[in-house]
Structure 1
Amino acid sequence: MDLMQLLDMVLHVDKSLGIWIEQYGTLVYAVLFAIVFCETAFVIFPFLPGDSLLFIAGTFCATGAMNPWILVALLIFASISGNSVNYWIGSMVGHKVMERDYRWIDKVALQKTHDFYEKHGGKTVVLARFIPLVRTFAPFVAGFSEMSHRSFQFYNVLGAFLWIISLVVSGYFFGNIPIVKDNLNVIVLVGVGAAVVPVVLGLAWKFGKSMFGKAK
């Protein structure tokens, strides 16, 4: 398998997971672990499948092709450790930025980000699990803004359990229903929209309110 074939399989996991299981057997657990770990650990991999991967994996668990207990345990560990690495990288970058006087860095804005994460970081880390793209960047920003490590890890673990279990279980019970199976891509897009749209509207509302306040 060349790099382009591997990338195509990763980006179309809803069609390719069955092929992975047939070709690699139990090694598929390592493949899924690696995908979840990389998506949550490195900001350069936000395109990797997250929600769809978990849901589809749950459907294969229902058919007996995979063990749900092993899958959930491995993916929770991958998710927790991935976020931890991402937080650590963000923390390293943040320390270097604060130690040096970069003119293009607004340290007042950094302090505000730090204050925000100390106050609302827990909710952000948990909710970000269910929002593609945001999921990849939230732990990095938490580390960069120096959110306390103890607080981060508590919500990191909580978010991982909620994210992995809810989607794998949903796939287990509903993924093989014909109408769901035949319209999976649409369902995934609707789910993403349901998660992203309220966040975008909330940010737009706050931005508009801020600009309107300044105009006064």
Structure 2
Amino acid sequence: MDYNQLAVNLLDAKSLVSSVGAIGVLAIIFAETGLLVGFFFPGDSLLILAGVAASSAATEVFGPGAQMNIALLLIGTPIAAVAGAQLGHAFGTKMGPRLFDKPDSKIFRREYVSKAEEYFAKFGPAKAVVLARFIPVVRTFLNPVAGTLEMPARTFFVWNVVGGVLWTESMLLIGYFFGDAMAPVIDKYLIPAILLIVLISVSPIIVEVIRERRKKKAAGAEAEEPVGGGRHRRG
């Protein structure tokens, strides 16, 4: 067995879809969202290609025997994504504080907590959990961080379901309905398409960051205004 090739294949969504089948796709989605070691899996492209594998373009893209059942995917992937995230949240609730207290932790860092706290404060728990689904790596680490920050289990579950369903179903249906159109160019344009989807997903965050910077810049300019300025106010 070529172990180097195997390692590469784990990062190759097309190879994964060809090799593991529908049940394997569900397992990978669960691992990416629920197991910290699964952050490297290509979840977005995996779901889109799974949708292609369930479409009429399956044989053209993956070869004979690669056809998947779209009903199984539409039902199974959101369940796997939600279950994985719930496991991550539970893990963070029980183990998070101890993990983050270790300065030499190889997976977690204290900065993750600080960034997550800022993320939750700016966008609120609902938007944070939903948007995180569409951001690679973040969707893996946000769940245990949410547990560490003591986000209520019921609140997390509700928005976890919303985010999990939106993410999995949208990615699958893109591949399913556009499989025939994507088939001739899928190898060339899949990654740019994924990047575009991620960019659209994080656009609210980008807008918020720009607004914050403008506010700080405006506040700084007002503070530096000369004493003799018309708008200067004495304390």
- TM-score normalised by length of structure 1: 0.77
Unaligned segments of structure 2, at least 5 residues: 59-66, 104-109, 224-235
* Shift, 1:193, TM fit: 3.0
State the 1:97 CA deviation.
7.7
Give yes or no for the alignment of 1:49 onto 2:42.
Answer: yes
Q: 1:183 maps to what in 2?
A: 189
Partner of 2:156: 152
Aligned residue pairs, count: 203
* Higher alpha-carbon Rg: 2
Structure 1 distance, partners of 2:118, 2:199, is: 28
Same amino acid, percent of matched pairs: 34
- Match runs of 1:1-216 below 5 Å: 1-14=1-14, 16-17=15-16, 19-20=18-19, 28-63=21-56, 65-96=67-98, 113=117, 116=120, 120-178=124-182, 181=186, 182-196=188-202, 198-200=204-206, 202-203=208-209, 205-206=211-212, 209=215, 216=223
Q: CA RMSD in A?
A: 3.4
CA distance in 1, matches of 2:174, 2:88: 27
Q: CA deviation at 1:131?
A: 1.3
In structure 1, C-alpha distance between the alignment counterparts of 2:117 and 2:95, rounded to whole Å: 15
The normalised TM-score by structure 2 is 0.71
Aligned-pair distance for 1:17?
4.2
Report the CA distance shift for 1:140/1:204 in structure 2 as closer, same or farther (over 3 A): farther
Q: Is the 8 A contact 1:128 1:135 kept in 2?
A: yes
Most deviating of 123-132 and 88-97: 88-97
User: Matches of 2:119 and 2:196 in 1, distance apart?
Assistant: 33
In structure 2, give the amino acid aligned to 1:48: F
Q: Which runs of 5+ in 1 are unaligned?
A: 21-26
